[in-house]
Amino acid sequence: MKKDTIIEAGLNAIPYVGGSLATLYYGSKNEKKFERLENFYKELKEEMDKNPIDVSGFTNHNEEELENVISDLNDKVEKETREEKRKYLKHFFISTIETPIQNDFDERKAFLDILDGMTVVECKLLDFLSKQQDPIQIRNLTGEDIYVLYGAVNKLISYGFLEARRGNFTMNGAQDEKLDDLIFTSVYGKRFIEYIRMN
């Protein structure tokens, strides 16, 4: 709360527009967060009513770890403005409820934190790559600027979701050889995709 007070005071101090900015930001900030969280659980209920899930193992959850994950999830839902990412957060919730947290707490927290940090471009790219039978050369990716995709590929590699291997061993200097790398979904990436039900 102290941080919010300092930020609000800072915004108010800006000549001419500060008061309006502070009102715009803080007046709707909490309302929007609450609204996103409320809609998230309303949509989740509707989805679970349509497609009931198996909750038979629910009592096997480590309660403290489940509480931690749900609290973290709620924080991320409150901040998330993109519908597509909220859809993946719903899938994360369902997978968490269906499969008791026992010895995989760290992996689930990592999945949630990584998902929170991913862009929609990265999500779409990972989804696309997970459906490929064979490795694909980076330069053959489409839908965005090739270097936006190259950056997304590198982030997905750093998460451990993709693997890469050299696609062209000829170093001629006439092109960006990094774009010749072949990429494919790793075993860890497949676990992530299955957990958040990306496909």
Q: What share of the chain is helix, strand, coil (3-state, %, to 5)?
A: 65, 5, 30
Residue 52 backbone phi and psi in degrees, to 5: -55, 145
Q: In tens digits, what is the pLDDT along the chain, a chain of 199 residues?
A: 566 676 666 666 666 666 766 666 566 667 788 888 889 999 988 998 898 888 888 888 888 998 999 999 999 999 999 999 999 999 999 999 888 888 889 999 999 999 999 999 999 999 999 999 999 999 999 999 999 999 999 999 999 999 998 866 555 555 667 888 999 999 999 999 999 988 6
Cβ neighbours around 65 below 10 Å, total = 19
Domains present along the chain, CATH in parentheses: 119-199 (1.10.10.10)
| Separation CA 160–CA 149 (nearest Å) | 16
What pLDDT sits at residue 117?
A: 96
Alpha-carbon span 53 to 67, nearest angstrom? 19
CA distance 118 to 126: 10
First to last CA, the chain: 39
**What's the burial of 112, exposed, middle or buried (CB within 10 Å: 0-12/13-18/19+)?**
buried
pLDDT at position 34 is 83
Write the CB contacts of 164 (distance below 8 Å, at least 6 apart in sequence).
Answer: 153, 157, 181, 182, 183
Query: Comparing C-alpha atoms, which of 118, 145, 134, 113 is closest to residue 183?
Result: 134
